[in-house]
Amino acid sequence: MSSIWDDDGAPDVSHALIAIIFALGFAPVRFLLDFLVYKRLAMRLLHSGRATLVIDETRQLKVYKCSESMWKFTYYVSVQMWVISILRQAPWLMNTKEYFKGWPNQELGYHSVEPLIEANLFPRTFYYTFNTMLLTLLVFHIYWWKLICAMLLRQLQNEGKVGEDIRSDSEDGE
């Protein structure tokens, strides 16, 4: 497998195949690990090393949550190891001069899309659609920032007591 830094970072068919194989193999690996390893390990951890045949609903829920946490841990550790293995191939990883090469004068925005538009590889409608989506995302971020700040201020005014939720509508009559 070639490095992602080869060919000036251009995508290769092998990169798409790896992503498809990963996506198709993700669910079976998760269910196998959950069934064969995580549930058994969670039962041993939660029941002090002894296996019990009868499990009530609350213990079953604890086993499920524990196995889910083990899966998340495995997933995040494996992703971080994969990212580090990719970064180790990067020529700029340990050289800060190479890392900041061309910064902050890198071409960004419309200028980086112009060659694609001229070659008819990137229709202008995609450009405007993408920018509209980014602006919509910006509006949502501003709205959520305002909402979170209002909730924090209300919580501070209530001196830590649980108050009315400002996110929901007031439908007292129903």
11 and 95 housed in the same domain: yes
In this predicted structure, the answer to whether residue 117 has a pLDDT above a threshold of 80 is: no
43 and 120 housed in the same domain: no
- Please identify which residue in the block is written with the tokens 């889910």: 68
118 and 92 housed in the same domain: no
89 and 21 housed in the same domain: yes
Domain boundary among 73, 99, 125: 99
131 and 75 housed in the same domain: no
3 state DSSP class of 114: helix
pLDDT band at 8 (very low <50, low <70, confident <90, very high): low
How many Cβ atoms are within 10 Å of 124's Cβ, its own excluded? 10
39 and 120 housed in the same domain: no
Residue 162 is assigned to a structural domain of this protein: no
Residue 169 is assigned to a structural domain of this protein: no
Query: Tens digit of pLDDT for each residue in 36-72?
Result: 999 989 888 887 766 566 677 888 888 899 999 999 9
For residues 74-95, give the mean pLDDT.
84
53 and 114 housed in the same domain: no
Backbone torsion region of residue 8, taken as left when φ is above 0, otherwise alpha when ψ lies between -120 and 50, otherwise beta: left
For residues 77-87, give the mean pLDDT.
88
User: Residue 154: CA atoms inside 13 Å, Cβ hemisphere, count?
Assistant: 12
For residues 83-109, give the mean pLDDT.
69
61 and 124 housed in the same domain: no
116 and 95 housed in the same domain: no
Residue 19 is assigned to a structural domain of this protein: yes
Q: How many domains does the chain have?
A: 2
pLDDT confidence of residue 27: 87
50 and 86 housed in the same domain: yes
42 and 76 housed in the same domain: yes
pLDDT band at 169 (very low <50, low <70, confident <90, very high): low
Cα(60)–Cα(54) distance, integer angstroms: 10
pLDDT confidence of residue 51: 58
Cα(12)–Cα(54) distance, integer angstroms: 53
- pTM (predicted TM-score): 0.48
In this predicted structure, the answer to whether residue 104 has a pLDDT above a threshold of 60 is: no
Expressed as residue numbers, the domain containing 30 is 6-99
**What percent of the chain has pLDDT above 90?**
23
Beta strands in the chain (DSSP E): none
In this predicted structure, the answer to whether residue 89 has a pLDDT above a threshold of 70 is: yes
pLDDT confidence of residue 142: 96
